[in-house]
Structure 1
Amino acid sequence: RTENFTLRNITDGANDTLIARSPNVNGGNNPITEGFSISMNNVETFGVNASRSGWNETGDPKPHQYFFATQSVSKVSDYRIVIGENIGFGRSTEREIEVGTGTFLTAPSIDTNFKVFNIYTNEEVDFAYFDLNRDGATIRAQSCDPSGNNAPKDPQQPDSVYQAPPQGVFSSVSSITGQCSDLVYVIEDAREFQDTLTYRFELRTLISNNILTTRNPEFGDTLEVFTTKPFSRNDRFQFRMDPENLPSVDSDSAKNALDEILVIPNPYKVSSIMNRKLQGAAGSKTERFILQAYRFLQP
């Protein structure tokens, strides 16, 4: 949880503290300093920033949709999955994983056609990988290896028989028997936990009339997932106040503007026969107005 923020002036190497540990990080008012004020709007709930996340590919058919969830320990980070040209572009790490309550399976270390990167730290990260969408799947076998009348049609070859991709290809399939996707588990340090599982990636295949309408990601495809996250101690926002960004008054223009100001006696009483008459005890009288004009002087 974000507790506070500090604002410093670092002009020409200075380190002057203007605001020290202000708790106003959720829209509260902060004091005006150096001629401006700061307003912070913190995001306190974790989730996927859908407007920034997704595949870079825009062709047709599109890659399968993605699913992203916390596996064990959440971490303030963003991620990128890059699909390579060949199997062997990446390699998974052997890891025992709890796939159900009290049920543990070991994901083997195998060559893959993808790598996983932490965008937030700009590092490649380890991952565990269950390759389910192939022959001999040990989890949801019927859905992961559809055959016969249950097999879906390929969107690029609707008349062909479905064939599972080679081992190591990040993939997914869907048929009348259900949905099946490979599972990717990110392995990294998070808070006080070392070498732990943070998040899980899956693919979500779209299907219509038992014909796949999305495809497995291919070479050149990149998936980026950005999360909504609170401000953290790693965040630094730096901005510069340049002369062209500051309000200013041109002295010559100000002098010329004074010539446009009309100066009249003060006060100046006026009345008009068009004014309505007010009835009073002493009879009628004309309503009068007072105009006051002030001369504006250049500061």
Structure 2
Amino acid sequence: MITMVPVLLSLPLLLGTAVPPETPAGAHHALTFLYTGVSRPSKGFPRFQALAFLNDQAFFHYDSESQQAQPLGLWSQVRGMEDWKEESRLQKAREEIFLVTLRDIMDYYQDSEGSHTFQGRFGCEFWSNGSSGAFWSYAYDGEDFIRFNKDIPAWIPLDIAAQETKKKWEAEKVYVQRAKAYLEEECPGILRRYLNYSRTQLDRQDPPSVRITSHVVPGRHRTLKCLAYDFYPQGISLHWNQARVAQESESESVILPSGNGTYQAWVLMRIDPQDRGHHKCSVQHPALPQPLTVQWHER
């Protein structure tokens, strides 16, 4: 059987972070690498793939079919940020070890023919007020599997099979210390280096385009939808007004990535089908010099 631990921890530069649900005050920066391995690949979903994020923006991708790490979107125009041939080689090594771990878990559960997924999240983040954070965790079939606690330091098993994984990954104490050093020292350094190449992409401001749509449920109500799209950064405010009075919306505004490095958001309001009032949607966003107001016109 292939020895996992040395290779697993000899590739720390590939690992990144996800943003926690609550963050300290101040500007926030994060480096995130997300890994996914599957036992039964399918068209459009390779056996292994990796995505890397700076803050909330995907900046490179690798998968087992292309076997190449490639910059995404605006980062394809950045020169000198990374040696992509070397990154591809490292990601290939990561792929092999990652899939070995998946097979080991399946062997433990004696389910070598099943359809299973192994995922990893790694990384670091910091804020302008001096706070910092990091984590390193894995999941199997959508359930927490094992995570690294850098304060102990140790791998914490969260599944029965993870007890065996812990034994392998802690066979040599030096590998635990290297994982701790990665989270506390190496990853923040990598993040700062990447940010130096990415200020233009991350600091940009794209104003939203806005339109209103209407849908009528016969005999019941009309739903107005105020949609804002193609904006960046993520923060935006949408609300309905009538005659300068704020109206209660049917739902809180929903904000989702558009898949092209921008966001889209919408808010719904339900009115009487016969209502011909002057309903307006007000939009506030950092890229707008002043709030934007769009009025609904029945068609």
TM-score scaled to structure 1, two decimals? Answer: 0.20
TM-score scaled to structure 2, two decimals? Answer: 0.20
Structure with bigger RCO (C-alpha 8 Å, 6+ apart): 1
Structure label with greater radius of gyration = 1
